[in-house]
């Protein structure tokens, strides 16, 4: 049975302030840790009222300390926002504190709007254009120590120097990251929940062209999907209506807290709105456990996914926990005994 993981944005709602959303993330992590989920990743977003956490590394430390079994990582660190040395130091620290349980997922998008991205990067030595590859290469060099002879960074040490950099994953929603992950021999995560590119194409292309490296000997492709599961199809549809309206608003540049199903029911949709929601449903899997399995299984098989990473956003926190519980049972996860 395919392993299940969690992608968490620490989503705020119209009734859940950001501080409470962060605490909910820790509570959810404890919950899925006992359910048998293998990985819990935190996203990086900035200046978005709908997302509480701009610093996945801080959340990773809190969640790793609050859990026992699950791997914890970034999904992902937006590398252009950070000096590679800072990323290396922070994740080597996390690996030192929680050995064998940390992942370093990297993205190349800013995770925010242009003005906020400028504020984040204005004190960095920015290059013109996309410098993701340059930053990724430097980050790897902090681990391999293969800077050219005479390079000034040969005298700089990323501490703690007795802890390795955690496994590196490239995240993406197009074929760019799949090709780069394969070329460099890294893990790959595909964001089906917001991608316009075909997941099957990206993931099978990654597997077909994977080159073993010092980082990874075998390919590992994670398929990230948005799911809302409940005891019945009708209840799942009610819960998912919050994500429907949230996505509609995001497409218009409105990054608002997640609305309640009651707020959604009172919203005046146009025919164009309903058509947009119907199109977006290709990125959202909704229903009872058996319904969701029937929808997911063909994509899992066609994409040859090694792992399914699930993002669930519901207005009610307990409903979100219930969704992950039902999904764990549907996929036959083995629950963990508390220490």
Which band of pLDDT confidence, cut at 50, 70 and 90, is reported for residue 162? very high
pLDDT tens per residue across span 299-317: 999 999 999 999 999 999 9
**Whether residue 339 has pLDDT greater than 80:** no
Residue 226 to residue 309: CA distance in whole angstroms: 9
pLDDT tens per residue, range 28-84: 999 999 999 999 999 999 988 999 999 999 999 999 999 999 999 999 999 989 999
Q: In this predicted structure, what is the pLDDT of residue 127?
A: 60
pLDDT at 109 over 80: no
Distance CA 168, CA 73 (A): 10
Task: Please compute the mean of the pLDDT values over residues 142-158 and round it to a whole number.
Answer: 95
Judge contact between 14 and 262, C-beta under 8 A: no
State percent of the chain over pLDDT 90: 86
Q: For residue 205, what pLDDT is reported?
A: 96
**3-class secondary structure, 77:** strand
Return mean pLDDT, the chain: 94
Residue 122's pLDDT is: 66
Question: Other C-beta atoms within 10 Å of 21: how many?
Answer: 22
Q: Which residues pair with 227 in a beta bridge?
A: 285
Structure tokens at 232: 């019945």
DSSP-assigned beta bridge partners for residue 190: 172, 223
| Angstrom distance (rounded) from CA 306 to CA 304 | 6
**Per-position DSSP letters for 224-293, written without gaps between them:** EEEEEE-SSHHHHHHHHHHHHHHHHHHHTT--PPBPPHHHHHTS---HHHHHHHHHHGGGEEEESHHHHH
Instruction: Tell me which of 1 and 264 has the higher pLDDT.
Output: 264
Q: What is the pLDDT of residues 244-299, one digit of tens each?
A: 999 999 999 899 999 999 999 999 999 999 999 999 999 999 999 999 999 999 99
- The CA distance from 334 to 108, in Å, is 35
Which of the residue ranges 17-26, 172-181, 188-197 has the most confident prediction, judged by mean pLDDT?
Answer: 17-26
- pLDDT for the residue 130: 77
Q: How high is the pLDDT of residue 128?
A: 62
pLDDT at residue 111, as a whole number: 65
The stretch 183-192 carries a mean pLDDT of 97
Let me know if 201 is exposed, middle or buried by CB neighbors in 10 A (0-12, 13-18, 19+): middle
> What's the pLDDT band for 126 if we cut at 50, 70, 90?
low
The predicted structure's pLDDT at residue 121 = 72
Give kind and range of the element (H or E) at residue 207. Answer: helix 199-209
């Amino acid at each position: 049975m395919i392993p299940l993981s969690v992608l968490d944005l620490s989503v705020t709602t119209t009734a859940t302030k950001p501080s409470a959303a962060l605490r909910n993330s820790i509570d959810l992590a404890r919950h899925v840790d006992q359910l048998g989920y293998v990985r819990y990743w935190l996203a990086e977003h900035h200046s978005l009222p709908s997302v509480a956490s701009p610093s996945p590394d801080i959340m990773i430390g809190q969640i790793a300390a609050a859990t026992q079994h699950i791997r914890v990582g970034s999904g992902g660190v937006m590398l252009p926002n950070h000096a590679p040395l800072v990323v290396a130091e922070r994740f080597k620290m996390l690996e030192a504190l929680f050995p064998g349980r940390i992942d370093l997922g990297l993205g190349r998008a800013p995770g925010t709007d242009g003005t906020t991205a400028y504020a984040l990067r204005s004190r960095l030595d920015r290059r013109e254009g996309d410098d993701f590859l340059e930053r990724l290469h430097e980050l790897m060099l902090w681990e391999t120590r293969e800077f050219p002879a005479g390079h000034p960074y040969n005298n700089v040490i990323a501490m703690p120097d007795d802890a390795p950099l955690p496994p590196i994953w490239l995240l993406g929603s197009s074929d760019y990251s799949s090709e780069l992950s394969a070329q460099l021999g890294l893990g790959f995560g595909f964001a089906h929940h917001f991608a316009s590119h075909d997941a099957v194409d990206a993931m099978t292309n990654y597997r077909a062209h994977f080159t073993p490296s010092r980082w990874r000997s075998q390919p590992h492709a994670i398929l990230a999907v948005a799911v809302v599961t409940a005891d019945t199809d009708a209840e799942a549809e009610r819960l998912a209506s919050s994500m429907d309206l949230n996505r509609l608003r995001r497409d218009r540049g409105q990054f608002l807290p997640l609305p309640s199903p009651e707020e959604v029911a009172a919203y005046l949709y146009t025919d164009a709105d309903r058509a947009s929601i119907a199109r977006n449903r290709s990125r959202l899997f909704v229903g009872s456990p058996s319904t969701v399995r029937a929808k997911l299984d063909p994509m899992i098989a066609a994409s040859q996914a090694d792992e399914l990473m699930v993002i669930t956003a519901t207005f009610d926190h307990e409903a979100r926990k219930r969704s992950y519980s039902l999904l764990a049972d549907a996929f036959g996860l083995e629950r963990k005994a508390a220490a």
